[in-house]
Chains A and B, each alone.
Chain A
Amino acid sequence: MQWLNLLNANIRKEYIELKRYLPNTIALLLTFYIIFLAAFFGIMFVGDPASFEVNVQYSIISVAFWSLTMMTMNFIGFAIVTEAMRGTLEQLYMSPLGVWKIMLTRIIAQFILQMVFMVILLFAAMLTSGQWLNLNPMTTLPIILITMVSMTGVSFMIAGLAIIVKQIQAFLQIFQFVLMALVFIPISVAPFLAFAPFVKGVDMVRTIMIENITLTQIPWADYSFLIANSIVYLTLGLVVFRSCEKVAMKKGLLGQY
């Protein structure tokens, strides 16, 4: 019940703040749409006409996933920095539930809200391009949810770093391009990227959406790999976060900015 109340409080807070910063949110959504348009017109004018449809579909999914990963993963780093600046970070540390739980519920809240934006972006992109993807939630959602676990792990690593370093905005700006590369580069071109967080999941969702296949048509080995990848990154993320917390408490960094 405590978990539920915590989740409820954080979803509510994120939603309220999103509403109050609505112009920012719309501007961000427009940015991603413009990036998609650039990719779309690039493919239209200089791409191979034979693979036009597939390329457009590929870029639609990639831009949408880039927005989701970036907004969810960078969010927590920015959140920690903002909390430290506001002076609320120490107050969060007064919660007997633990900050990792608060941050986890915030990531979930942000993920839910960003999913809504991702769907809006997907439809806007599909309408513009006239290319329609398989958006069946019964097939895509389970994989997205498992993929989200590894994203959460990386988010915790960023959060840990933010607690100690605080001024990580420059790093986060570079990181968004790293995320872009991870989302856009196909695993078939760089198979080792499957070991990176969320890349395998994005690849699987892309295959489902473009090739219109069902969950049962994906090999079990792929599911096993995806689940193992997510568990490893989540565990690693939590270990890094807890270690950074200990360092911050030892050095007195929680209240500093």
Chain B
Amino acid sequence: MEAGEDEGFVEKIIEVHGIRKSFKKRKTKEIITAVNDVSFDVHRGEVLGLLGPNGAGKTSTIKMICGLLQADEGSIHINGLDIQKRRLKALKHISAVLEGNRNLYWRLTVRENLEYFAGNRGLSRKEVAAQIEKLLSQFHLKDKENELVNGLSRGMQQKLAIAVALLANTEVILLDEPTLGLDVEISYELREILKTIVKEEKRTIIISSHDMPVVQELCDRTIIINKGTVVVDERVENLLKLFETRAYSIKLGDALSEAQQLKLQRKFPLSTYKVGTHQTTVEVNLEHSEDIYELFDIFKEEGTQVESIDRITIDFEQVFMEIVKGEKNYAMA
């Protein structure tokens, strides 16, 4: 059973199977593999976070899902339609924000942009009039509706770009870096709007982002891509739980001997050992719950006194960093 199926998301709306994409560098003719055998499914109504460091292959994956980039191998189905063979039919089910505020016509007003993009999907101004009113008020753009886009702040432009994507009324929405370059206040506002949309509209959303609070608050499930391959495909809460339960901060009454420190490093290579003026602290990530006994055996050998054990609360950013830096450890777990 895949992540997602156990939470009531039964029907698959996006099926990505074994996609690969390589590019040839113009000058050196070197072949760069951007996406290497990536497979995952997204279920109807699910909100999926697509994470990864820069150059990991997230944008290439999103562009292949949109049919803007052709995969060298593999297949992508949107609502059962092969995006590479029946692209236009499949696009009836997807809308996207790909380059944020750059996706807009800066010499058109807010309302003109909304109406123009609706027209490009074959919708009349009359058909979308009510929906435009709703989006303008939902995104707090009503008082700016007749202003040219180039006169708006970046945050407002970003909000408009998302409103344009929502106006299409598609089942699937792809948001590539929706909060990139926004200040904390606007980023928070956008997150709140997206939360309402997720809650009320039950659309299938894929969010590619470096903004961890966005992923933590909005996504049901997350896929972490690194060097073109899927490193993690797991529900957000499970990931947090997994790392949270095994991360401990242990305060000791005495410093560890050299032999103890050596054993600690050998057995728990990712652990940190800090000697302070009044106390010594060991922070450790335990791969298996029974590892705690081995840790205590190290302390017991020389009678080191354990003063307290605290579970380290972990946020999604730390989880992401742990996985990307030490993906082998996660795979073993």
User: Contact size class for B?
Assistant: 35 or more
A5 lies within 8 A of B124 (CB): yes
Q: Are B115 and A9 in contact (CB under 8 A)?
A: yes
Which residues of B sit under 8 angstroms from A102, Cβ to Cβ? 120
A23 at the interface (CB under 8 A from B): no
Digit string of A82-95 for contact with B (CB within 8 Å is 1, else 0)? 00001110111111
Q: Does B94 contact A (CB under 8 A)?
A: yes
CB distance B68 to A254 under 8 Å?
yes
Answer whether residue A145 sits at the interface, using C-beta atoms and an 8 A cutoff.
Answer: no
Inter-chain contacts of B105 with A (CB < 8 A): 13, 86, 88
Using Cβ atoms and an 8 Å threshold, which residues of chain A touch B107? 16-17, 20-21
Q: Which residues of B contact A91 (CB under 8 A)?
A: 96, 98, 103, 117, 164
Q: Do most interface residues of chain A lie in helix, strand or loop, or is the interface mixed?
A: helix
Chain A, interface size category, equals 20 to 34
CA A246 to CA B84, docked complex, whole Å: 11
B127 to chain A: which residues have CB within 8 Å? 5
Given contact pairs A12-B116, A88-B105, A94-B91, A2 touches B122 in the complex (Cβ within 8 A): yes
Q: Is B104 interfacial (CB-CB < 8 Å)?
A: yes
A49: B residues at CB distance < 8 A? none
Q: Which of B63, B112, B120, B121 contacts A252 (CB 8 A)?
A: B63
B85 interface contact, C-beta 8 A: no
Given contacts A96-B91, A97-B88, contact A88 B121 (CB under 8 A): no
Does A72 sit within 8 A of B, measured CB to CB? Answer: no
The answer for the CA separation of A20 and B150 in the assembled complex, in Å, is: 13
Q: Could you say which residues of chain A place their CB within 8 Å of the CB of B21?
A: 252
State A16–B89 Cα separation when bound (angstroms): 30
Interchain CA distance A13-B112 in the complex, whole Å: 8
Whether B92 sits at the interface, judged by CB under 8 Å, is yes
Contact A95 B121 (CB under 8 A): yes
A9 touches B108 (CB 8 A): no
Residues of B within 8 A of A92 (CB): 120
Provide the residues of chain B in CB contact with A9, threshold 8 Å: 115-116, 118-120
Query: What's the Cα separation between A251 and B104 when bound, in Å?
Result: 24
CB distance from A96 to the nearest CB of B (A): 4
Nearest CB of A to B34, in Å = 9
Considering residues A10, A17, A91, A250, which has the most beta carbons from chain B within 10 angstroms of its beta carbon?
A91
A90→B23 contact, CB < 8 A: no
B68–A249 CB distance below 8 A:
yes
A8-27: CB near B (< 8 Å → 1, else 0) gives: 11101100110011000000
Give the distance in Å from the alpha carbon of A249 to the alpha carbon of B91 in the complex: 15
Question: When each residue 73-103 of chain B gets 1 if its CB lies under 8 Å from chain A and 0 otherwise, what string results?
Answer: 0000000000000001101101110110011
Is B116 a contact of A90 with CB atoms below 8 Å?
no
Residue pair B108, A13 in contact (C-beta under 8 Å): yes
Hey, which chain B residues are within 8 Å of A97, CB to CB?
Answer: 88, 120-122
Specify which chain B residues have a CB less than 8 angstroms from the CB of A86 in the assembled complex. 102, 105-106
When distances are taken between beta carbons in the complex, the residues of chain A under 8 Å from B94 are: 94
Contact of A8 with B108 at beta-carbon distance under 8 Å, contacts A87-B102, A91-B117 already known: no
B275 in contact (CB, < 8 A): no
Whole-angstrom distance between the Cβ of B157 and the nearest chain A Cβ: 11
Whether A95 lies near B68 (C-beta < 8 A) is no
B88 touches A6 (CB 8 A): no
Contact: B119 with A252, CB < 8 Å?
Answer: no
Q: Is the CB of B60 within 8 A of A252?
A: yes
Taking a contact as CB atoms under 8 Å apart, the answer to whether B122 and A8 are in contact is no
Cα distance, A8 to B126, chains bound together (Å): 12
Closest to A246 in B: B70
Shortest CB distance B225–A (Å): 17
Do B69 and A88 have beta carbons less than 8 Å apart?
Answer: no
In the complex the two chains form, what is the Cα distance from A1 to B70 in whole Å? 31
Are B69 and A249 neighbours in the complex by a CB distance under 8 Å? yes
Give A13 to B103 CA distance when docked, in angstroms. Answer: 15
Specify which chain A residues have a CB less than 8 angstroms from the CB of B63 in the assembled complex. Answer: 90, 252, 255
A98 adjacent to chain B (CB < 8 Å): yes
| Residues of chain A lying within 8 A (CB to CB) of residue B99 | 87, 90, 255
Name the residue of chain B whose CB is nearest to the CB of A252.
B69
In the complex, which residues of chain A have a beta carbon less than 8 angstroms from the beta carbon of B118?
9
Residues of A within 8 A of B67 (CB): 93, 249
Q: How far is the CB of B181 from the nearest CB of chain A, in Å?
A: 14
Contact in complex: B89, A88 (CB < 8 Å) = no
Shortest Cβ gap from A247 to chain B (Å):
10
Pick from A12, A87, A96, A255: contact of B92, CB below 8 A. Answer: A96
Interface: B218 (CB within 8 A): no
B110 interface residue per 8 A CB criterion: no
11 A-B pairs with C-beta separation under 8 A: A6-B122, A8-B124, A86-B105, A93-B66, A93-B67, A94-B94, A96-B89, A96-B122, A97-B121, A252-B23, A252-B60
* Chain B contact residues, CB within 8 Å of chain A: 21, 23, 60, 63, 66-70, 88-89, 91-92, 94-96, 98-99, 102-108, 112, 115-125, 127, 164
Known: A10-B120, A16-B107, A92-B120. 16 other contacts (CB 8 A): A1-B122, A1-B124, A6-B119, A8-B124, A12-B115, A87-B103, A88-B104, A91-B103, A94-B94, A97-B120, A97-B122, A102-B120, A249-B69, A254-B68, A254-B69, A255-B99
